[in-house]
Structures are given as structure tokens and as C-alpha cells.
Structure 1
Amino acid sequence: MAKVSINLATGSLQKEDIIVGIDLGTTNSLVAFINPDKDPQVINDTGKGLLVPSIIHFGKSGEITVGNEAKQYLITDPSSTIFSVKRLLGRSYHDIENYKDFFSYKVIDDNTESLVKIAVGDKFYSPVELSSLILKELKERAEHALKTPVSRAVITVPAYFNDSQRQATRDAGKLAGLDVLRIVNEPTSASLAYGIGLKPDETKTIAVYDLGGGTFDVSILQIQNGIFEVLATNGNTFLGGDDFDKAIVDYWIEQNQLNRNEVAADKELSQGLRLKAEEAKKALTTQNLFNDMLESIPCAITKIKFEELIAAKVQETITCCQNALKDAKLSTSDIDEVIMVGGSTRTPFVKNSVASFFNKPVHDQINPDQVVALGAAIQADILAGNRSDILLLDVTPLSLGIETMGGLMDIIIPRNAKVPTKAGRQYTTSVDGQVNMKISVYQGERDLIKENRKLAEFDLKGIPAMPAGLPKVDINFLLNADGILTVQAIELRSGVKQEVEVKPTYGLSDDEVERMLIDSITHAKDDVSQRMLIEARTEGEQMVYTAERFIEKNSQFLSDKEIVETQDLITALKDTLLTGSKDDILAKVDALNNFTRPFAERVMDEAINKAMKGKSL
């Protein structure tokens, strides 16, 4: 089994603990470990199955169900059943508004760039909280199966995940009681499962084709001296095996001359047809004909017909492969290996199409549902120092970040990042006409800066006076091989720049590092609760400021009644900001936002009419 035997700060021998590898998927999630025979193995807890559906149901009495047991509620209680939460991690509403109809639950539109929230009844949840429930279920399954506590993990994410999405995944792990040692790209993990990239002198360029239930992505990776570099990614977040099932269902509806609207309205029938289509799809991987009945409806389809139905969708994935190669400035002849990931790659037509495009056999020997989790377990084993043939680069012992509104810590370089490293993020002002910005640098794992260690503080002066939100300030962290951190802040519009150097590890003993890590796990739940309350208050304060300014500037477009009602809602929000809970504040923000949205649209229409007056198109 993968065991930690190194001190996190120094690399010296210290204590043993199991590390697991987790594939946190859009449709299904898995957890794996290195067994006593030194082989990676997916955990099957008490026969519940290897795959844990990434589904969460909130019952009327507050009970929470995760996994297989939650699936039934997708039909019977859709508004309280959360699925595909991975799509929402680290996203704002603007990021996902084009496919909001995909979700059967309520995703809050607060008309800002803040991260999305999900409303279930009178409670509001962040994607981090929801993902943590899936991770907690995986953790409990692992502990039950391995008969030992599990507190450390490697978690995989798509190669295209940005910093915000990666940090959200880390936060979800922490909230689930896991110390997330590393976030690993899914294609990198799949490569490791096949042993590609484990040899230090190996140089290869590989393509990882990942077709899951609801998403598709292809990654082109270059592996050199054990380092994986993502050259290009491409894909479609709404293309997968579900589309194959839908094509079969549509075919059966047409063949049996069923009324589409009636089928859609009958949730039991539509779900029954979807499940039967899934059964047919699986059967056609090994046989030429599927023939069955659903009640009195004949459900038959040949392999040839099935391949004809899905050809266009498969071609879409091939087009993505072409685009990824183009972005990487490579051709198919430059690709040394092709790895298949995701349950939908079991379909022979998919496999043959990919092999034909790349003009070489594909790697599909390892179960495509499990390959990412197995690779994550190997990565965990490497981090544990159990692989003498792998050289581990120096890593940062604690996260590095800055203070943001409300005294919160925003991590820029996460713990266990390889050294040397650089990372950055863009910020803006919170007050109109703000010309200075105080940048406070902290080290630690807690959500509140008061619980972390302050490293440095400096002022970025001379920011041009602009409305709040307009200045763009890039803050970059550069940590060199000697452990010296350079923090640079630059306002992009004016070029104003300031930087400071600091040594993060100076004056920190191994015991202090260890204590800070343990505290972060122990207080994770309280920290996240406090963070969410502070974020809700900050959002509420910004909503009050925006609404008051809107009335002040546009009162001529509003009736007296509308102004009075808006001011009543503002007062209610202000009162709640003082003593209300996170859910109370967000409910008031939502109410004010929904009430004032038509006014903003009206003002916009007036402005357009005024601008277009006397002009012809």
C-alpha cells in the first residue's frame, strides 16, 4: 500500500499513512490504492461496486444520499438531486449560463462574476461543498474496505481545468477531511497507469482520448525525463455516451411511432427507454443484434444501425483530435502512443475510428473506467517515496497566497507544488476611484488569514482612478529553486509595478509545518463555514452598493412604487448582513437581484433606443 514515510517539509523519514488516488468524475467517481502486491487496485467496498455515481440527493428531513442510492431521485425528486457538479467547480454563472437548462436543479444567477451557488429548498450550496460530499463518500468507502483511516489523497482533474477549478477541487478535498497532496491531470494519470512516463530517460508524445458519459476531451502530452507537459487540449463538455443512448431512444421512438411529447412527459417510460438503450449499447460491443421488449414496446437494433446513428458524434470527437494536433503543431505521425479513457471508448466503432485516425493501435487493455484512478494511486505511491526508480522534485511544504476581502486567504501556489514554480492571478478594485492596493502575502492552509503566517506586505500605488472592477491587477508569485519567493503586482492599464522578495521557510520548524497542516484538516469544516459566511456578506455588501447607486443614477426610469420596494429589499438585506446566516443573506441577495433585474433591462433598452434614434439599419 502507498504509505507516507517522509516529513512533509524536509523529506526525512517520519510516519506511515495510506494515500489513495481519487478520480472525481462528472458522471462517476472512483478511489484506488496500491495493494500489498504493489499493484494499483480500485476499491470495491462491501460489494457496492467500483463506480460511485457523482450524484447527491437532499431529503426533505435533511438526510443526504450519495452514489447509487441517490440515482433513483433523478426522476422522483430532480430539483433536490445534484448531478454533474464537476461542471460547476470554480465557475461563475456567466461561464455556464449557455447550458443552464441542462441542470434540473436551481443554479443561482446573481448577475455577477462570483462563483455559482446551487439552491436546494431554502439552503444554498457551493460546488465545493457538494463535491466534498462525493469525496467524503469515497473516503468512507476506502476506510471501510481497507480497515484503516484515510486522510491523504491524490485527486485527478481534466487537463483544461484552470487555477480556480483546481483550487476548488483542493478545497473540496480539505472539506471532506482529506489532505490533498497533489492535483494531477487526468491524462497524466492515465499515462502512469500504462507505465508511460515512469522511466526517467523516456521521451514520448502521447494522445489521451477520454470519452465519458457526458463529456469528451483529448489531450496531447509530451513526456520528457519524467515531466509531463500538456501541449494542447480540446473537447466538448456536452458530448459523451449519453448521446449514444439518446440516439438509440430516438430510433426506437421513431420505429414504434411513439409520441415524443408523451414519452418526455412520462418520466418512468423515458427513464426506462434510456436504461434499455444503455443496455443495448453495452450488448452491441460484443454482439451484432440487440432484441428486447420494454413493457409492450419492441426494442431492437443492429450493430450496423447503431454505428450509423452515432457516426456523426464520433466524427465530432475526431475533429477535436485534429484541432488539438493543430494547436500542438503536430501531425498524427508525431504521436507515439494513444490511450483510451472513459467507459464510452468500449464501443468498437469509437475504438476503430480513433485507431484509424491516428494510424496506430490504441491502448485499451486497462479498464477505461478505472485507468485514471489507477494512475492516481501510482502517483500517490510515488509521492509516498515508495518508488526508488522515480526522482521526486522538491515541493513547497505550505501553500502561499494573499489576503482578499473579508480577511480570506486566496491561494496562488498550492502546497506540494514542484519547485521552482510560478503562478499568478488577476484581481481588481472593490471601491470606485481606488488608487492604492495593499498586498499582504501569507503562508498556510487555513481559509482565514488570521490563522496563517504573514510573510510580507506592500502597497501598489498609483493605480489610475476608475470605477470599481475596471482596473486589472496581475499578482504573480515566483518561487525559485532556493526557496526565495518573489511577489510582483502590476496594474495592466497603467503599467504601475511593485515587487517584494521573501523566504517562506525561514524560521519555520518541521513541527510547526506539521501543526499547521493538522490544524487545516481539523478545522476544515469551521473554516469553510466562516469563509462562506464572509463571502456571502461581501456579496451582500456589493449588492447593496450596486442597487443604491443604480437607484441614484436611474430613478427617472423607475416608478415611486418600484423605488420604495427596492429600498425595502435593500434595508432587509442590510439588516440580514449584521446577524443573518449564509443562507439568509444569499436568499435576500437573490430576492433583490430578481426584483431589480427587469429595471436594469429597461434602462439598457432606453439607452439603446436613445443611441439608435434617427439612425437606420
Structure 2
Amino acid sequence: MAKIGINIATGSLQKEEIIVGIDLGTTNSLIAIIHPETKQAVALKEHNTSSLVPSIVHFNENARLNDTVGQGNVTVGEAAKQYLITEPQNTIFSAKRLMGKSYNDIKNHSSFFTYKIINDNTESLVKVQVGNKFYSPIDLSSFILKELKQRAEHILKTPVNKAVVTVPAYFNDAQRQATRDAGKLAGLDVLRIVNEPTAASLAYGIGLSKEDHKTIAVYDLGGGTFDISILKISNGIFEVLSTNGDTYLGGDDLDNAIVKFWLQQLSINEDELKNDQMFSQAIRLKAEEAKKHLSFNEEFNGELHYSSPKGRGWEGALKISKSEFENLVQPFIEKTIICCKNALKDASLTTKDIEVIVMVGGSTRVPYVKKTISDFFGKEVNDSMNPEEVVALGAALQADILAGNNKEFLLLDITPLSLGIETRGGLMDILIPRNSKIPTKASRQYTTQVNGQSGIKISVYQGERDLVKDNRKLAEFNLTNIPGMPAGLPKVEISFLINADGILVVKAKELRSGVEQSID
């Protein structure tokens, strides 16, 4: 007898497997699917709740003391927000800003974080200390992904094991690999890593007819990252022409600007934030409230009533006008304009060539951001789609394409940063230039410098500077057991392969002897 499955949540026939789209954000994260009946991308949410899950992780006492993190010891999302002020040292926010970063990358911003980031004086990736335990940003992100997975399984009444996860277009190789690893820890098979602006363009362009030919700019200003991508949409093909951005620029920086403004007004030293985490978190949350309030009002008048367990307290008014706020954030928005100019230059286009500007990310709700971008491009911006959901919806559409359900659309993405190796004199020899279509492969031959040399050290870098010391080191390995030959005789072929996720695999082979080594 034949059996069929019916999903009682949607009332439709249950497919064997659902591939979800996930936007793992700095401030909020969410999960989306293609609805089996309407075939439309929808963000999943419980009845009468928000689709947004705050990217906040709280560890209770058991999690802080024990070696294992058990069920119920970690709280994620809305339920974790209440601990931001009462237990700032145990409540992690904006973990995405730490992805693929060393302490040296974020030391100038350390006062922003109210939890303990380990300074080990090395270039190794950062870790966060909570109680007796240490967590990497991969671990922290995996808790958020696990929460999204469980939320989807509860709503859909079916297991969820496969996902498309989005990342900022300007994420480097280490950050992309970290995102994939976080998915694996959460029990998800990450089928594809998709750039956030590309996903957003898919959500925007899916409604266009095949006859439409558009050149669009996707301006994506989130909680912690910024991307600008220029795309050409034609005959169902979404081709990324160029991308630019800053992986440490977002709404958090706008909040921080307000905090510094208030500290100056109140004659409070910034060191007070480091010494009193509860006060730091309380004033940061007030700044976020002010930012949102000023999107609809000319002035923010708030009060902060604060007393710490150590007996210190502070009570008073916090004020800021819309014009003051705009002056504070102008330098940050100007940075995004520079990125826009670079992206246009790389695509060999001018602002007049851009037909549509799609606004993505919660920080684009700020009127000053919209006006500045509109003035730069010389036309009104398109903010018709929910800027906080559009990336997840695009990820769900890409998941549908991977599942073979949608064969009408094709994504042609690019790598955001040049990739190369270190050569003599500390120079960067680029094998794959930035804005190359992916997947892609490039090879180049090198040789030895001294007689009888039996090995070559291969150092892989990502970046645009001529000297490797100014770029980011991704990996280093040794090709050994090269047979003894005169200098210049061995032929060492180094191959770079970037897959569809934008993740790099490097191979080195001595062609005369067949000795080879690879790393990914």
C-alpha cells in the first residue's frame, strides 16, 4: 500500500526533504522556505510573533561551570535579551563581528563588547570566555543556527537538515569557512554559502519578466557589516559585476557613535564602559532605542536609571537631536559611499548606469542613509521589500534552485578579494583577481631558488596590496620531498580552485616527480 506524508502545519503533501534559507545576521537571524502551495518565499514565524530571532546567546550557571553545554543551559533569541543588562558578561551579542577575526582585528573596538574576549597576543582567531569555558565565534554562531533549525522543525513538523546560508559579500575565505563549520556544528548540511546582496537581488528580481534587463545596485547595511554589489539581471541570469564593502561597519557603529556622544556630554570617561559592563550595556541599548526613534522624530529624550551591584549608580536624561545624530553618523555613511564608488569603478559603470538601488539590512531604515544614497545615485532608492527579511527570502529561493524545483534562474557570483601567494621579497603574486566569476580555477608554475632545494613553503594570502604583510594570511603549508635538482629546474605548479561557496582549495605539485600537497 502506498503511503504519503501530509504536513499538518501547511496542509500540503510533505516533500521528502526541505532545504531552508538562513540569514545569519549580526543583530537578528531568520529562516525562510518556499511555501509548497503558493511557491512564494516566506520567512518562518510562530503565530503572531516576529520572524526575526535576535542573534543573542546567554549561558546560565550550569553552562558556565560544566564541560558540556546541555539542553536548557543555553538560551538563544528573544528570551536571551533580558540578560543583556543583568548578566552582560554571560550574554553574547554581535558574534558575527568576530567571525574569522584575530584579537588584533578588533582590539580597538573591545570596549563595545561587554563580554570577555581573550587577548592571547597572536594572530589566531578570537575566543570568548564565559565562566570557565571558552567559545569561538563558530561555536556561538552554531547555537543561533541550532535555534533556527529547531524553530523551523517545530513550525514545519518535519526534520530540517539542509540549508543555504548567507554571508556578507566581503567575507574572506576564513569567515566563509567559519560559517560553514558553524552550520555543521548545528547539525546542518550547508549546501551553499551565498553572498547576502546576491540573495537580496534574487528576492527582488524573481518578480521581473524574462524580457526585463536591469542593472541594479544592492546596498546592504546590516548590524555589523556593509556590502555593495552591482548586478546585471537579464533573461533570468543574475550576474554579479562587482562587489565592495567593509566587514566591520554597520548599525552597531551608529549606536556606538551615540554612546560616545552621550559620554562626552555627561563627562564620563570611556574606560567606565570597560570597568562597568552593566552600565555599558544599558547605555548601548538606550542608544539603539534613540537611533530607531530618530527615524520618525526630530529629537530623542530618554532617561537612564542605572545602579550596579557594586553600589555605583547613575540617573539622568539622555538627549540627542536628529541633526546631531546625522552629524555623528556622517563619517560612517561616507565610508559606504567610497565602497559604492569602488564597486562602480570595478564594474566600469557610473551612477547613471544604475537603474534600481535595492536597500537591504535594518540600518537602511535610517532616513539619513536613504537620502545620502539617493543623492549619490541621483534617483530614489527601492525600499519596497522588508530590508530585514529580503536576504533570507533570497536564500530560500537559492535553496529552491539547488533542490531542482526552479530551473528558470541562474546566479553568477564573484569572489570579492584577490587571492595569491607570497613570492621573493614579500610580494603578493595574484593568481585569482577580485571580482572573478566563481567557481573558478587558476594555476601558475614556480621553481626553486637554490641547488638541491627539497621543499617550498607556500603562503596563501587574500587582499589587494602589493606586499603580503598588508594582506590577510589564509594558510601556509610546505611542499616537501622534491628530488634534488639544480636551482630553476623543478616545476612546481600551484593551483587555486574557488568553489561556488567562495571557499578556496590550494594544490601544489612538482611536475617532474609528481610530488603534491593540498590544503582547503
Common fold: TM-score over 0.5: yes
Determine the structure 1 residue equivalent to 2:27.
Answer: 27
| 2:260 and 2:270 in contact (8 A); partners too | no
Question: Structure 1 268/355 Cα, relative in aligned 2: closer, same or farther at 3 Å?
Answer: same
Rg larger in 1 or in 2? 1
Deviations 1:249-295 (A, max 9, x none): 4444555x453469645555544433333223222222334344444
| 1:23 and 1:155 in contact (8 A); partners too | yes
Matches within 5 A, 1:466-505: 474-477=494-497, 489-490=508-509, 498=514
Deviation at 1:169, TM superposition (A): 1.9
Question: Structure 1 164/246 Cα, relative in aligned 2: closer, same or farther at 3 Å?
Answer: closer
What is the aligned counterpart of 1:243 among 253, 275, 278?
A: 253
Determine the structure 2 residue equivalent to 1:461.
Answer: 482
Q: Which structure has the higher relative contact order (CA within 8 Å, separation 6+)? A: 2
Deviations 1:473-500 (A, max 9, x none): 8344599xxxxxx996247xxx978599
Deviation at 1:350, TM superposition (A): 0.7
1:107 aligns with 2:98: no
Counterpart Cα distance in 1 of 2:194 and 2:83: 32
Deviation at 1:205, TM superposition (A): 3.1
3-state SS of 1:155 partner: strand
Counterpart Cα distance in 2 of 1:234 and 1:419: 16
Deviations 1:522-548 (A, max 9, x none): xxxxxxxxxxxxxxxxxxxxxxxxxxx
What is the aligned counterpart of 2:335 among 316, 339, 349?
A: 316
Counterpart Cα distance in 2 of 1:20 and 1:121: 34
What is the aligned counterpart of 2:81 among 71, 79, 90?
A: 71
1:136 aligns with 2:156: no
| 2:302 and 2:317 in contact (8 A); partners too | yes
Deviates more, 1:357-366 or 1:266-275: 266-275
**Percentage identity across aligned positions?**
59
What is the aligned counterpart of 1:302 among 321, 341, 356?
A: 321
Question: Structure 1 465/86 Cα, relative in aligned 2: closer, same or farther at 3 Å?
Answer: farther
Counterpart Cα distance in 1 of 2:453 and 2:109: 36
What is the aligned counterpart of 2:168 among 158, 165, 171?
A: 158
Counterpart Cα distance in 1 of 2:112 and 2:319: 29
Determine the structure 1 residue equivalent to 2:367.
Answer: 348
Amino acid at match of 1:376: A
3-state SS of 1:45 partner: coil
Counterpart Cα distance in 1 of 2:45 and 2:15: 27
Question: Structure 1 222/462 Cα, relative in aligned 2: closer, same or farther at 3 Å?
Answer: farther
Counterpart Cα distance in 2 of 1:338 and 1:138: 30
Counterpart Cα distance in 1 of 2:381 and 2:117: 41
Q: How many aligned residue pairs are there?
A: 422
Amino acid at match of 2:268: N
Matches within 5 A, 1:587-606: none
Question: Structure 1 196/388 Cα, relative in aligned 2: closer, same or farther at 3 Å?
Answer: closer
Structure 1: gaps (5+ residues): 1-13, 394-417, 426-432, 438-457, 467-471, 480-485, 501-617
Counterpart Cα distance in 2 of 1:45 and 1:88: 30
Counterpart Cα distance in 1 of 2:209 and 2:506: 35
Question: Structure 1 101/349 Cα, relative in aligned 2: closer, same or farther at 3 Å?
Answer: closer
Structure 2: gaps (5+ residues): 1-13, 64-72, 306-314, 413-436, 445-451, 457-478, 500-504
1:85 aligns with 2:86: no
Determine the structure 1 residue equivalent to 2:381.
Answer: 362
3-state SS of 1:61 partner: helix
Question: Structure 1 434/131 Cα, relative in aligned 2: closer, same or farther at 3 Å?
Answer: farther
| 1:108 and 1:119 in contact (8 A); partners too | no
Deviation at 1:157, TM superposition (A): 1.0
Counterpart Cα distance in 2 of 1:330 and 1:357: 14
| TM-score after normalising by structure 1 | 0.59
Matches within 5 A, 1:161-560: 161-195=171-205, 203-223=213-233, 226-253=236-263, 257-260=266-269, 264=273, 267-295=277-305, 297-387=316-406, 389-390=408-409, 421-422=440-441, 435=454, 461-462=482-483, 474-477=494-497, 489-490=508-509, 498=514
Counterpart Cα distance in 2 of 1:260 and 1:278: 20
Counterpart Cα distance in 1 of 2:397 and 2:125: 33
Deviation at 1:375, TM superposition (A): 1.0
| 1:22 and 1:153 in contact (8 A); partners too | yes
Determine the structure 2 residue equivalent to 1:145.
Answer: 155
Deviations 1:101-138 (A, max 9, x none): 655323363736x5544444443433333222111110
Counterpart Cα distance in 2 of 1:101 and 1:301: 22
| TM-score after normalising by structure 2 | 0.69
| 2:441 and 2:495 in contact (8 A); partners too | no
Counterpart Cα distance in 2 of 1:326 and 1:206: 15
Deviations 1:540-591 (A, max 9, x none): xxxxxxxxxxxxxxxxxxxxxxxxxxxxxxxxxxxxxxxxxxxxxxxxxxxx
Amino acid at match of 2:388: D
Question: Structure 1 354/139 Cα, relative in aligned 2: closer, same or farther at 3 Å?
Answer: same
| 1:58 and 1:80 in contact (8 A); partners too | yes
3-state SS of 1:21 partner: strand
Deviation at 1:142, TM superposition (A): 1.0
The structure whose residues are more often helix, as a share, is 1
Deviation at 1:327, TM superposition (A): 3.4
The structure whose residues are more often strand, as a share, is 2
| 2:239 and 2:411 in contact (8 A); partners too | no
Deviation at 1:188, TM superposition (A): 0.7
Deviation at 1:345, TM superposition (A): 0.6
Determine the structure 2 residue equivalent to 1:40.
Answer: 41
Counterpart Cα distance in 2 of 1:80 and 1:473: 49
3-state SS of 1:156 partner: strand
